[in-house]
Amino acid sequence: MEYYARFINNIIDDYLFLQKIIEEKGNGFCTAEFRKTFNRLYTVRQKTKAWMNSFYDVFYKCNINKYSFRECMQHLYEEVGQIHPSLCSRIITTLDPKKPSWDSNVIRCMGIVLKEPQKKAKETKGEYAGRVMDYYNRIYSQIEKEYQTHLDDDNINRTIQIFDINIPKAASLDKMKKIDLMIWSLKDRNIKSVLEYNSLLDKIK
């Protein structure tokens, strides 16, 4: 439990720091320290300086213009020429804690099977990218619906209560973010469904 608690507390410290900077700095939140913390928290690395600048430019615009997940993907694609659903979800959930993250563990725990659309013969790169982003947007909507379905589940709420007791820093976080943290931190464990949280109770005590 000691390692687990330390790991979670470090994540929460970084997450709360990001929230504090956004609250205090407003539109000027993308400071060097904010970037460093975000990159560490979400393992954004091995990118060029130009790529990073483009990424944080989109991050800034997302905050100013209140972009949706789909709009965030579109603008980042236009900047860097790649589609990054997971990173875009990190932007969205940082700006709005009630929004879920997208990563492989969330996808697995939600029982979602990804199957990207195939490129059509006469389809341009941009047209194909648009269809892929539309597909990812539907998946993100599915993730949101899965979270909403289970937020009031008795087993999950019981787990969250124990999580709060063992990780006091988590008490102030939105319930959505707590579930995010549990899925993320338990990535090395054999959890196949969000409904299996009740089987984790003894492991996180």
The 10s digit of each residue's pLDDT in 68-107 is: 999 999 999 999 999 999 999 999 999 998 898 998 888 8
Q: Cα–Cα distance between 69 and 91 in angstroms, integer?
A: 9
How crowded is the C-beta side of 193, counted as CA atoms within 13 Å? 6
What is the rounded end-to-end Cα distance, in angstroms, of the chain? Answer: 7
What's the predicted TM-score (pTM) here?
0.86
What are the tokens at 166? Answer: 């063992």
Looking at residue 45, what is its pLDDT?
Answer: 83
Q: Cα–Cα distance between 184 and 22 in angstroms, integer?
A: 23
Distances, alpha carbon 96 to alpha carbons 23, 48, 101, 136, in Å: 12, 27, 11, 19
